[in-house]
Amino acid sequence: MNPFELMSVSEKTTARRALGPVDPGQARIKRPQFLAGGTNVLDLMKAGVTQPSRLVSIAHLGLDGIAWSESEGLRLGATAHNADTAYHPLVSQHAPLLASAILAGASPQIRNAATNGGNLLQRTRCMYFYDVALPCNKRAPGSGCSAIGGVTRQHAILGASPACIATHPSDMCVALAALDALVEVEGDSGTQLIPFTRFHRLPGENPEHDTELPADALITAILIPPNRYAGNSVYLKIRDRASYAFALVSVAVGLDLSEDGTVRSARIALGGVAHKPWRIEEAEALLADQRPRGAILDRVAERILAGAVGQGGNDFKIELARRLIARAITVAAQGTVTNDTACKDQREERQHG
Ligand SMILES: Cc1cc2nc3c(=O)[nH]c(=O)nc-3n(C[C@H](O)[C@H](O)[C@H](O)COP(=O)(O)OP(=O)(O)OC[C@H]3O[C@@H](n4cnc5c(N)ncnc54)[C@H](O)[C@@H]3O)c2cc1C
Ligand code: SF4
């Protein structure tokens, strides 16, 4: 039993102050944390992976709006729920790729509780990270990595390090990376916008740090600039089960096509393959002025997967990713595919209260 304090606040500065200054003498796992939907932080507490001395509920900060403006694009509040975001008409209109990615994740109940900010900061699903009896550099820096040489079906093929081969589990984040989103963050030094592709980090020698978010900072919103990908986008996810399963490999694609069917610009991001959503702009540029079919698709996949290395149990991911990239580009070129028809009843239920 680890006693902790639960606080609820209604003002952003109070919320940040309630975390208190970072005490270098305090173990990382004991540090106070924000509580949003609680779907990850409470699981981690139950498993003993974290033992925060205080949880600061941010549910009542009024950060749950979703809005659109010509200059800023989509503004998604940090505490808006994943389900409300996915079913919002502005998101369907301007970023159907994001709606698809969110609806490919978790289950209806979890998406109802989970928030946008929390989704970005959910921790890896590496089974050794959750098993406090085993070494894990991410949970206990310097203790070793139990996954290397262990069961690696879910692990990284790109950007891993000898210290950690974990993957980032989010579906939503893959679409946000493809859509050049920005994370709005409020900290002691004021408000800043962090480009999404720089928000999450590779493990390197310090896998205990998942992101570049300063320790005292609160995510207030996620911004998606106006884009031209709403008409040709798709999120494809391969997983072991239809529900409650994280991506083995997923691909988010957005294409901006000319009238003659050639590509003006493309966005491609992968999930399930690295410590962060994986995007290679050089590979996207290969599609410019090309028809998205035939040999060019293999060249794009080859560039995205350059340097990919399997760990034994996940070697299959390299070929799976190669095929899924080609498939996703081909499908997106036919028009946007959403996966929300399966969830039609839930959407109507939400809209009619
Ligand atoms: C069974 C199960 C299956 C799942 N399957 C999938 C899946 O297939 N795909 C997928 O993408 N996800 C999946 N998830 C993960 C789920 O999407 C996340 O747990 C959820 O998005 C986290 O959001 P939350 O609001 O509950 O975060 P919380 O658990 O409340 O918080 C998570 C972390 O974020 C911090 N935090 C939250 N909000 C802020 C903020 N505004 N500013 C600063 N810090 C903040 C908290 O302090 C905490 O450290 C699954 C979860 C479960 C339990
Ligand atoms: S892969 Fe990363 S999270 Fe998993 S055991 Fe190794 S260090 Fe820990």
- What pLDDT is recorded for position 274? 98
Termini Cα distance of the chain: 39
Q: Residue 2 has what pLDDT?
A: 87
Residue that has been written with the tokens 């340097």 in this structure: 307
Provide the token pair at 271: 């999930």
For the chain, which domains are there? 5-59 (3.30.43), 233-334 (3.30.390.50)
How far apart are alpha carbons 185 and 195 in whole angstroms?
A: 11
User: How far does the centroid of ligand 2 lie from the alpha carbon of residue 140, in Å?
Assistant: 10
Q: Which candidate, 108, 96, 115, places its Cα nearest to that of 170?
A: 115
Cβ-based neighbour number of residue 202 at 10 Å: 16
Q: Name the closest-CA residue to atom 31, ligand 1.
A: 118
Ligand 2 atom with the smallest distance to the CA of 156 is 1
Q: How far is the CA of 148 from the centre of ligand 2 (A)?
A: 8
Helix (H) or strand (E) segment spanning residue 264? strand 263-271
Extract the tokens encoding 353. Answer: 């209260």
Distance, CA of 204 to CA of 336 (rounded, Å): 36
What lies within 8 Å, CB to CB, of 25 at 6+ separation is: none
218 alpha carbon – ligand 1 mean position (Å): 15
Under DSSP, is residue 34 helix (H, G, I), strand (E, B) or coil? strand
Cα(335) to ligand 1 centroid in Å equals 31
Of all protein residues, the one whose alpha carbon is nearest to atom 43 of ligand 1 is 218
User: What's the whole-model pTM score?
Assistant: 0.96
> Which residues, in sequence order, are bridge partners of residue 222?
76, 183
- Rounded CA gap, 295 and 253, in Å? 18
Testing ligand 1's pocket by substitution, the residue of 19, 33, 40, 54 carrying the most ligand atoms inside 8 A of its CB is 40
36 CA distance to ligand 1 middle (Å): 8
Ligand 2, atom nearest to 136 Cα: 8
Q: Which atom of ligand 1 is nearest to the CA of 122?
A: 32
Question: Measured in angstroms, how far is the CA atom of residue 296 from the centroid of ligand 1?
Answer: 37
Distance of CA 341 to the CA centre of its chain: 23
Q: If you take atom 48 of ligand 1, which residue's CA is the nearest one?
A: 41
Residue whose CA lies nearest to ligand 1 atom number 34 = 118
Q: What is the mean pLDDT of each run of 10 residues along the chain (353 residues)?
A: 92 94 78 97 96 96 98 97 98 98 96 98 98 97 97 98 98 98 95 97 97 93 98 97 91 98 98 98 98 98 98 98 98 89 54 53
Whats the size of the chain, residue-wise?
Answer: 353
- The Å distance, Cα 282 to ligand 1 centre, comes to 31
Question: Which of 127, 132, 146 for mutating ligand 2's site (highest number of atoms within 8 Å of CB)?
Answer: 146
**Torsion sign, CA atoms 260, 229, 87, 121:** positive
Q: 254 in helix, strand or coil?
A: strand
Answer whether 164's CB lies under 8 Å from 138's CB.
yes
Ligand 2 centroid vs 301 CA: distance in angstroms? 27
> DSSP per residue over 144-200, as a string?
-BSSTTS--TTS-SSS-BTTB------SHHHHHHHTT-EEEEEETTEEEEEEHHHHB
* Nearest atom, ligand 1, residue 172 CA: 11
- Between CA 224 and CA 238 the distance in angstroms is 25
Q: Rounded to the nearest whole angstrom, what is the distance from the C-alpha of residue 306 to the centroid of ligand 1?
A: 30
Note the pLDDT of residue 348.
56
Ligand 1-lining residues (CB < 6 angstroms): 33-41, 43, 58, 78, 82, 105-106, 110, 113-115, 117-119, 121-122, 169-172, 218-219, 244, 246
